[in-house]
Amino acid sequence: MRSIARYIWLIAVRRGFFGGQRTWMTVFAVMGATKALRRIAGNTQDVVYSEELLPGQALVITHHEDLRLGDKQR
């Protein structure tokens, strides 16, 4: 998927930014804004737990609901 986005980006730069075609200039602007926002936001994924499992071991992942102000407890 990244190669398709890269290809479209290159076409948008050539035809939009350098060529002046309005449609490709719009694609260039949208993709550029997306890249800039991702760069500003940074990587928000953090490794919470890392451990090697041995044969026969299992890892159980569960989710507990957050109880916030106004939420009703069941």
Structural domain includes residue 9: yes
Between 71 and 50, whose confidence is greater?
Answer: 50
C-beta of residue 31 within 8 angstroms of C-beta of residue 8: yes
Give the confidence band of 8 by pLDDT, cuts at 50, 70, 90. very high
Structural domain includes residue 47: no
Query: Residue 12 — left, alpha, or beta (φ > 0 → left; ψ -120 to 50 → alpha)?
Result: alpha
Structural domain includes residue 31: yes
Query: Residue 20 — left, alpha, or beta (φ > 0 → left; ψ -120 to 50 → alpha)?
Result: left
Residue range 14-29, pLDDT digits in tens:
999 899 999 999 999 9
User: For residue 10, what are the domain limits?
Assistant: 2-41
Residue range 26-52, pLDDT digits in tens:
999 999 999 888 888 876 677 887 889
Which tokens belong to 5?
A: 């986005």
Which tokens belong to 3?
A: 């190669």
- Residues counted in the chain: 74
Structural domain includes residue 48: no
Total number of domains in the chain: 1
pTM comes to 0.53
Structural domain includes residue 66: no
